[in-house]
Amino acid sequence: MSDAVNPRLDTEPRPLVSVWRHLLDEPLPQGVGWFHVFGGLLLFFLALQGVTGALLGMYYSPSVTDAHASIEFIERDVTAGAFVRGLHHWGSSAIVVLAAVHLSQVFLWAAYKRPRRLLWVVGVLLFSVILGFGFTGYLLPWDLKAYFGTKVGISIAGSVPVIGDSVERILQGGDEVGPLTLTRFYGLHVTVLPLLLAGLIAIHLFLVRFRGITPPWKRVGEDGVATQRFWPDQAFRDLIATVIVFGVVAALAWWVKAPLEEAADPSNTTYQPRPEWYFNAPFQLLHWLDGPLTVVGTTVIPALGFLLLVLLPFYDRNPERRLRKRPLAAVTGSLVAISISMLTVIPMLEDRSAVAETADETASEESLPLESEKSSPQEKEQAGAPAGVRDEAASTSLSDAARRGEELYRRLDCAACHESASAGRGINVPPTLVRIGDRVQSAWLARYLAAPWRVRYQDEDERPVARMPDYGLAESEIVDLVAFLETFRDSSQIPAGIAGAVEDPTEAQVEAGRGVYEDYFCSSCHVLEGDGVGYGPDLDDVGRRLKADFLFKFLRDPTVMIPGTPMEVEVEEEDARALVRFLLTRKTE
């Protein structure tokens, strides 16, 4: 932009140009710099959401029959459709992160104090609108995650005392989460919230410009000397930061893509609802605050937290901005930040080892698969099976065979028995398929699926809850199903090669393993070569059934690897290795 005076300016008034110049020439105090890019970043990404949202709106259909299909169409058939949707998906996460940083920064520098108290209030309202976007947008793809996540979210709102029922009905638009909820959320997401957002942003920006940007670390009232202008000094920094963050979001959109599960199915009883990560904190809170305390988690803490946040500038009247002169604010702020971060991260970690975490709690209590229907959403979350069954990444990159296998898995409804909350927990119940891909050799699995026989630990006196039926699968179907089950892996728990050198053991090593087998009295529960007691699985053919890495890890830590297993012996590392060498040579003719 040239600074040369335009000769026409003297003669002809050009109001738009002068307003624009006035805006861009905003004087900025000394010290404003790279740390002040977050507002601009947010503005960019909110605008980007507007653009990608408008594009998606051209194909998306807010009806329960078409919503999921229209998203699939965008993903598969529309030029750049998956990328645009990816930008919208990851952009929303980026906005929450950026908004959190922006807000923390304003808190840290006490920029919310006089004369910018209203600016803070508007900012907090903007943050709530952003979360509102996240909540309403989550339902729109109408996949399992959307449906069940929203159901839980709404029922949390419904647990508010007195008005809860009405709030629930208003959010749902009817008796249950259904077509009316979808159109309602869509309406909120694409008209009400954007208008609110635009209005609040306008006020926010006006106030920023009206009050000026807070110079860092000054007392209230000490506003610094302007040494630079917004254009191009700060604009340049904002843009560099924007390009970097946009690069990250675009890379995620391109390579990771936005998730899309199968279409919502209200009859599914085994799905474990998960909120979007930025709603983890309130969800996690509800894990710990249950029973009579639920109301604390659903109402008291959120309401109080919001009020304390909005009203912060009105009760914090300390004129200091430097952190060490604000010990109370510093300590409280850090505690809140640490708590929220922990509440957000814990469910992520739990997801990785969902099954392991809860094995002990539920091992003996549950016996029938159908009991999972009765449990509340929160309890279901604790029971934790399906979401932890497979690596996240695996589901997005299935081979064709595995994809067909997944379809078959769904059609035969394998999940009904093998992903129920009690699967694998206790006696005579169907095994869980958690990490089945790590656990069992595919050739064995194929043989088993062709003609299932009884393998599991059983109690003679008790009738089994269910038996694996022979589905009479065709050979190609078995190949597909095995390919799909092979994706049930968990490399974080069972990294390849963890068993070490166990292949092709020498005669002496096998004999050493046999010694360990005897030392640990394995035969008191297992039968091998006709010797032992058959409580546990027969080990005669174990060399063809289990994979080395799994067997090793299982011997080291059985209850974690197979939740609910009655085997509770933990074998020392070297012994485990010797046992694996020995057991893997056990093959029947």
Partner 1 sequence: MNAPVSRRRLLAQLSGALMGLLTLAAGLPAIGFLLSPLRRRSGEAQWVSLGLLEEFAGAIGPVRADFDYEARSGYRIQTVSNSVWVVAGNGNGQVPRVFSKTCTHLACNVSWKDDQQLFVCPCHGGKFGRDGAVVAGPPPEPLTVIESRVEEGELQIRLG
Residues that bind partner 1 in the complex, under the rule CB under 8 A? 1-3, 44, 48, 51-52, 55, 58-59, 66, 69-70, 72-73, 77-81, 83-84, 87, 231-233, 235-236, 239-240, 242-243, 246, 250
Question: What is the Cα–Cα distance from 288 to 18, expressed in whole angstroms?
Answer: 58
Task: Give the SS3 label for residue 228.
Answer: strand
Closer residue to partner 1, CB minimum distance, 140 or 449: 140
Half-sphere exposure of 272 (CA within 13 A, CB side): 21
Residue type at 94? A
CB of 81 to partner 1, least distance (A): 6
CB of 374 to partner 1, least distance (A): 37
Strand partners, 504: none
Question: What is the Cα–Cα distance from 431 to 418, expressed in whole angstroms?
Answer: 6
CB of 77 to partner 1, least distance (A): 7
Closer residue to partner 1, CB minimum distance, 61 or 294: 61
Closer residue to partner 1, CB minimum distance, 88 or 577: 88
On whether the CB atoms of residues 377 and 155 are closer than 8 A, the answer is: yes
CB of 98 to partner 1, least distance (A): 15
Closer residue to partner 1, CB minimum distance, 143 or 419: 143
Closer residue to partner 1, CB minimum distance, 44 or 279: 44
Closer residue to partner 1, CB minimum distance, 143 or 366: 143
Strand partners, 546: 440
CB of 527 to partner 1, least distance (A): 55
Closer residue to partner 1, CB minimum distance, 83 or 520: 83
C-alpha distances (whole Å) from 67 to each of 77, 146, 168, 264, 567 are 15, 11, 23, 10, 47
Question: What is the Cα–Cα distance from 479 to 401, expressed in whole angstroms?
Answer: 7
CB of 31 to partner 1, least distance (A): 18
Rounded to 5 degrees, what are φ and ψ at 531? -115, 130
CB of 20 to partner 1, least distance (A): 14
CB of 85 to partner 1, least distance (A): 10
- Among residues 422, 418, 417, 419, the alpha carbon closest in space to that of 364 is found at 422
CB of 245 to partner 1, least distance (A): 11
On whether the CB atoms of residues 406 and 398 are closer than 8 A, the answer is: yes
CB of 231 to partner 1, least distance (A): 7
Closer residue to partner 1, CB minimum distance, 254 or 306: 254
Closer residue to partner 1, CB minimum distance, 227 or 588: 227
Question: What is the Cα–Cα distance from 280 to 320, expressed in whole angstroms?
Answer: 34
Residues with Cβ within 8 Å of 389's Cβ and at least 6 positions away in sequence, in order, are: 419, 433, 434, 435, 488
Question: What is the Cα–Cα distance from 56 to 178, expressed in whole angstroms?
Answer: 21
CB of 41 to partner 1, least distance (A): 11
Residue type at 214? T
- Ordered DSSP codes for 5-62: PPTHHHHS--HHHHHHHHHHT-EEETT-SGGG-HHHHHHHHHHHHHHHHHHHHTT---
On whether the CB atoms of residues 42 and 78 are closer than 8 A, the answer is: no
Closer residue to partner 1, CB minimum distance, 250 or 345: 250
Closer residue to partner 1, CB minimum distance, 41 or 152: 41
Question: What is the Cα–Cα distance from 181 to 483, expressed in whole angstroms?
Answer: 38
Joined together, the tokens standing for residue 576 give 């485990």
In this structure, the dihedral spanned by the alpha carbons of residues 531, 537, 539 and 543, taken in order and rounded to 10 degrees, is: 180
Closer residue to partner 1, CB minimum distance, 82 or 197: 82
- The residue written with tokens 């539920």 in the block is 362
Question: What is the Cα–Cα distance from 170 to 123, expressed in whole angstroms?
Answer: 26
CB of 223 to partner 1, least distance (A): 23
